[in-house]
Amino acid sequence: MSLIVNARPAGGAPGKAIESDAIDHDDLAAHPHKLIALPMNAKFGFDRQELEAIQLTGLQARFAALVDRIPVLRKFAEDQKLTEIRTLEDGALLLFPHSLYKSYPLSAVEKQRFEQLTRWTQALTAIDLSAVDCSGCETIDDWIERLDAQTDLRMRHSSGTTGKLSFIPMSREENLWSVLGIDATFSRFGDEPGSEGVRYGEAPLIAFGYRHGSQSFPRTIEALVEHFYGGDESRVLCMNPGRISADMASLAGRLEGAQAKGALGRVQLSPGLMARREQFLEEQAQAPRHLDAFFERLSDEFRGQRVILQGVLPPTVDAAMQGLERGLHHLFAPDSAFFLAGGAKGRALPDNYRELVEKFTGVAFPPSGYGMSEATSALTRMCPQGHFHIVPNLIPYLLDPDSGAPRPRTGTQTGRLGIIDLGCQTRWGGFLTGDEVTLNHGDLTPCGCGRKGSYIEGEIRRYSEIRGGDDKITCAGAPGIHDKALDFIAGASA
Amino acid sequence: MNAPTPLITAARYHVPLIIRGQVIEDADLQFGGRRGGVAFTTPDVRRHVDALFLREPGDLADIHALTSEEIFDYLDALGGELTLDRNPYLQEAFELSCQTSGLSSGIVRHLYQTVGALFRKSFVRELAENAIGVRYLDGWVERRMASGCVCSIRAFGARAVHVLSGNVPMPSALGVIRNAITRSDAIFKTPSNDPVTAAAIARTMVAMAPDHPVTRHLSIAYWKGGDEQVEAELYRPDRVEKIIAWGGQASITHIARYIQPGIDLITMDPKLSSSIIGREAFADEETMRAVAARAALDIAYFNQQACASSRVTYIETGTDAGGLAKANRFGELLFEAIQALPEQCSGPGAMEEELADEIQGLRLMSEDHIILGGRGDEGAIIVSQTDEPVDFARILNNRVANLVPVDDLEVPVQSVTAYTQTIGLYPDSLKTQLRDRLVFNGAQRLVSLGYACKAAMAGPHDAMEPLRRMCKWITDENNDPAAVPLLSEV
């Protein structure tokens, strides 16, 4: 589940080189999540040996601390006959498939068996969920709220466009570190161009998305408000002040599940979901009013200001188009910071979307980036040489896409990317992406931009696209109905 | 060591374009295959599209002048030529299929060794008689209507495109047979994962009888599905009257935009199949073992690649502790039975990654499933410990099946959907008891457990009746005003 990220720094501490001896290596090895908050100069200033020393100690510590607290990690390690980590290479045996995060039975949601979902979650997290009381929960939203209220767990869920929702159990603290990681992308590396001075908290935040909910975007806003804005909502403006509902996001998968179950599924579908649908319709009816209010405030309160812009690509382009329609353009100071995540996600965007966004905001379109939603903080933006550098809290692995055998961690290799994120403190940070990448480990041919360490060269491709069926036809199967479910939402909102 | 893994190796196969007996051997274009990285070269169909469709509809007269018996003789002779040991075209198709089908070579060999048998006269005649009625094919059949009108009916052939599916020789072979029986003119659009088999049959026809009307009304072409320069030219009512499309959304997506009045679309839908086993099967160990051997065939024959392959098996063991114990024991017996199948039926096959990930997810996270096997290429039995199938039942494949214990057969009856094809049942009395309700919910074919993949081939083909639909049913209505008053006189 990779995502493309665009981040344009707005300065910060200008190009001040951080010598590696100014960094407390022992502290980082003992608390490797602190790697997340290092400024770019430090993140990409490690020599290979010193970084690997930190990573190995960090990995060993994480494994030792979590193996007995996260049941699925223990089982996974037992399967691999791994009792301790000796080398960084051992980490290649501990990469979870993404399916793990959606391995719950859909019927638990359909039949509102949220205790079962909680037990399922418990297998993935070191946070104690034994005291969570799910009584009275009718919807996924209710359940996540309950977890928020009673524990440190801050569940994140996927957008649901591929069917079943994935649930990634992050902690409150990881949620905060995650935004420190985003903040760090605004710091400058060396003498690379970028305007001066704006970091989260120092300027108002304009967010092209929902304020509330449990997808990455609203969770990020939640942490930014808490950590950088001291809870002061007046300095944060979201395009939609409402909540993006997990139940609505799960609709496609649930309809598909219901369809696959025949009449049995139709019986299960009705109660809770239909109530949610009513609510969703009501929210949709409110949306134009919210949008008017959003543009009004942008124009009245924030015009000409230096701000931080935050968005996911498609809704940001939508906002730009709607804003331009209202005659709003060049709204903000050109030295504002801009953080933009997500690819087109299957949406057809106008060819000139970059210009539209620039014209509306008055801020240069940020350079591309790469990240993965399974990680606490994986964001990296493209260097002037056109490469994505791997941030130091991530240990990258490349695997043979067929055999799963790890490729040597040296030189330039192509394969399926796996990651261990040392930033994860309460769940296991190892996961396998669906991406084919060419990774230069940076040991033989370092990148010309001056960043040290490994970096992704060239195109990142989804294996599902590489191997997908252009013309393959078989007689076994049944159509998925994602599109119909999305139509259902669209129809409901029309 | 720095080279990326090549997904496509050098072209090894060449696939000709065959237009009504004429074999065009140019190698204008190269396409990549799948799995083993097989690629092939083929002529650019865009350059030949004007010759591809039958320009003069009247040119169908020659094949309509043949009697059905003459056509059956031709097909019978063709079947004799389709002998793997001595047909180089078929050998090449077999070799490619071994690499691209994902099936073990034992199965693929069996399929190619038996393809000729499909053309046997006795079978083809039965098929034509059951599906259409030979007299409707051979001439006009008079029927006197209550009005006094004498209505003569004849089944005519049509100009058709068959969008074939890959993996196995069956769709190509059936396509040739059906096209000949109905006296149609067919263009086969071959799939990228098997561009060779249909061409192999057609080349055998050209070698055997180059000028025979059956040979001259078959064309074989590969173009990339969705290629507008080919499809927009071809799919026009004045050029093509019927499209027979195997495969579901993947093939229909490209075709749908061309569907309009004047073009009939016959979809050979992809479907999923299941099994229902009544409580009688669990009476004792011996019965369980015998029933498991039959269930194993429905699941694993042909490595579960067919639409008729069972994916979910509902077992009426009950879901209490005793019931689950029986279900789990049955799972073991079923797993053993699958492993024991002979190699021409079933063999080890690599699990697709998506499925392997789902199984790993269950293995690590689920309290509600017991998984037997599934670590290598041996296949797996997932025994649900509740009365629910796994969420990923749709992608079960390559000898991975889900056993679902139930207290009540209402669960499987209510689980049938519009995408259900075959249901294998045990004992047979269960069929009689459940069949109407299974059909109302969507089932298309009911069969004694163990026979899901041994279809009554001369039957209506999964509720679809393709042969009847491939014909144009024409009437010649004869009225004598003395017997049938004119409309103005009523």
Buried b / exposed e across B402-428, counting CB within 10 Å, b at 16+? bbbbbeebebbbbbbbebbbbbbbbbe
User: pLDDT at residue A264 above 70?
Assistant: no
Q: What mean pLDDT comes out for the span B119-132?
A: 96
Q: Which of A150-159, A210-219, B59-68, B91-100 has the lowest mean pLDDT?
A: B91-100
Interface with A, mutate which of B272, B353, B369 (most A CBs under 10 A) = B353
Q: Do B388 and A262 touch (CB under 8 A)?
A: no
pLDDT tens sequence across B355-367: 998 999 999 998 8
pLDDT confidence of B257, banded at 50, 70, 90?
Answer: confident
Q: Provide the pLDDT for residue B1.
A: 34
What is the tens place of the pLDDT at every residue in A169-204? 999 999 999 999 988 888 888 888 754 568 899 999
pLDDT in tens, A112-136: 899 999 999 999 999 999 999 999 8
Does any CB of chain A come closer than 8 Å to the CB of residue B249? yes
Task: Give the residue, B5 or B354, on which the prediction is more confident.
Answer: B354
Please state the rounded mean pLDDT for residues B31-49: 78
At A252 the pLDDT is 66
pLDDT at position B215 over 60: yes
Tell me if A477 and B2 make a contact (CB, 8 A cut-off): no
CB–CB contact B360 A479 (8 Å): no
- For B169, list phi and psi in degrees, rounded to 5: -75, -15
Please give the model's pTM, rounded to 2 decimal places. Answer: 0.83
Q: Which residues 367-406 of chain B have a CB within 8 Å of chain A?
A: 367-368, 388-391, 393-394, 397
- Does residue A110 register a pLDDT over 50? yes
**Higher pLDDT residue, A85 or A376?**
A85
Question: For residue B167, what pLDDT band results from cuts at 50, 70 and 90?
Answer: low
- End-to-end, the C-alpha distance of chain B in Å comes to 90
C-alpha to C-alpha distance for B425 and B413, rounded to whole angstroms: 12
Is residue A17 very low, low, confident or very high in pLDDT (cuts 50, 70, 90)?
Answer: very low
Q: Is the pLDDT of residue A310 over 60?
A: yes
Predicted local confidence at residue B440, as pLDDT? 94
> Is residue B184 within 8 Å of B161, Cβ to Cβ?
no
Question: What is the amino acid identity at position A148?
Answer: D
Residue of A nearest to B416 (CA): A262
pLDDT attached to residue B240 = 96
Residue A369 has φ and ψ, to the nearest 5°, of -145, 180
Show residues of chain A in contact with B411, CB under 8 Å: 264
Preferred mutation among A118, A266, A471 to probe B, highest tally of B CBs within 10 A: A471
Q: What is the pLDDT of residue B38?
A: 66
Of A164, A411, A438, the CB nearest to B4: A438
Residue B69 reports pLDDT greater than 70: yes
pLDDT value, residue B344: 86
- The answer to whether A106 contacts B391, with C-beta atoms less than 8 Å apart, is yes
Cβ-Cβ contacts under 8 Å, B441 against chain A: 262-263
Residue B464 backbone dihedrals phi, psi, to 5 degrees: -100, -25
Mean pLDDT, range A41-70, rounded to an integer: 95
Name the token pair of A445. 């041919």
* Residues B373, B353 contacting (CB under 8 angstroms): no
- Please compute the mean of the pLDDT values over residues B214-243 and round it to a whole number: 94
Give percent above pLDDT 70 in chain B.
Answer: 95
d(CA B196, CA B202): 10
% of residues, chain A, pLDDT over 90: 57
Cis peptide before B6 (omega within 30 of 0): no
Core vs surface per residue A92-118: b (16+ CB within 10 A) or e: bbbbbbbbbbbbbbbbbbbebbbebbb
Task: Look at residue A279 in the predicted model and tell me its pLDDT.
Answer: 75
User: Is the Cα torsion angle B299, B304, B306, B311 positive or negative in sign?
Assistant: positive
Q: Give Cα separations from A64 to A30, A73, B407 (angstroms).
A: 12, 11, 45
**Any alpha helices (H) in A153-261, and if so which ranges?**
172-184, 216-228, 246-249, 251-260
**pLDDT band, residue B253 (cuts 50/70/90):** confident
| Confidence at B302, pLDDT banded by 50, 70, 90 | confident
Q: Is A308 helix (H, G, I), strand (E, B) or coil?
A: strand
Interface of B with A in 185-224 (CB under 8 A): 191-193, 224
Q: Which range, of A28-32, B30-34, B150-154, B290-294, averages the lowest pLDDT?
A: B30-34
Mean pLDDT of B74-103: 91
Q: What is the pLDDT of residue A476?
A: 53
Mean predicted lDDT score pLDDT of chain A: 84
Question: For B300, how many CA atoms within 13 A lie in the half-sphere containing its CB?
Answer: 31
Q: What is the mean pLDDT of residues B263-281?
A: 91
If pLDDT is split at 50, 70 and 90, which confidence band does B459 have? confident
| The two three-digit tokens of residue B444, written as one number | 């298309």
Residue B36 in this model has a pLDDT that exceeds 70: no
In this predicted structure, the answer to whether residue A484 has a pLDDT above a threshold of 50 is no
A19 pLDDT band (50/70/90 cuts)?
Answer: very low
Q: How far from the centroid of its chain's Cα atoms is residue B275's Cα? A: 19
Is A415 in Cβ contact with B5 (below 8 Å)?
yes
Is pLDDT of A104 > 80? yes
Q: Please state, rounded to an integer, the average pLDDT across all residues of chain B.
A: 91
Highest mean pLDDT, choosing among A476-480, A484-488, B178-182, B259-263: B178-182
Q: Band the pLDDT of B6: cuts 50, 70, 90.
A: very low
| pLDDT at residue A267 in the model | 54
* HSE value, Cβ hemisphere, 13 Å, CA-based, for B450: 13
Query: Region A447-455: what's the mean pLDDT?
Result: 94
- In this prediction, residue A257 carries a pLDDT of 67
pLDDT of B450: 97
Residue B478 has pLDDT above 90, yes or no: yes
Split at pLDDT 50, 70, 90, the class of B375 is confident
Which region among A186-190, A228-232, A292-296, A298-302 has the lowest average model confidence (pLDDT)?
A186-190
**Contact (Cβ atoms closer than 8 angstroms) between residue B459 and residue B467:** no
Distance of alpha carbon A479 from alpha carbon B252, whole angstroms: 11
Does residue B327 register a pLDDT over 90? yes
- When pLDDT is cut at 50, 70 and 90, the band that residue B129 belongs to is very high
Residues of B in contact with A104 (CB under 8 A): 365
So what's the pLDDT on residue A467? 55
Task: Assess whether pLDDT exceeds 70 at residue B398.
Answer: yes
pLDDT at position A268 is 57
| pLDDT number for residue B8 | 38
Quick check: A288 pLDDT over 80?
Answer: yes
C-alpha–C-alpha distance, residues B262 and B237, integer Å:
5
Among A121-130, A460-469, A483-492, B457-466, the least confident range: A483-492
B376: Cβ contacts below 8 Å, ≥ 6 apart: B348
pLDDT of residue A494: 29
| Residues whose CB falls within 8 Å of the CB of residue A120, separated by 6 or more in sequence, listed in order | A103, A104, A108, B365
Pairwise CB contact (< 8 Å): A100 & B358: no
Q: What is the pLDDT of residue A479?
A: 44
Tokens of B325: 């114990």
| pLDDT interval class at A367 (50, 70, 90) | confident
Q: What pLDDT shows up at residue B311?
A: 96
Average pLDDT (B1-20) is: 62
Average pLDDT over every residue of A347-366: 91
Q: Which of B391, B395, B402 to mutate to test the interface with A (most CBs of A within 10 A)?
A: B391
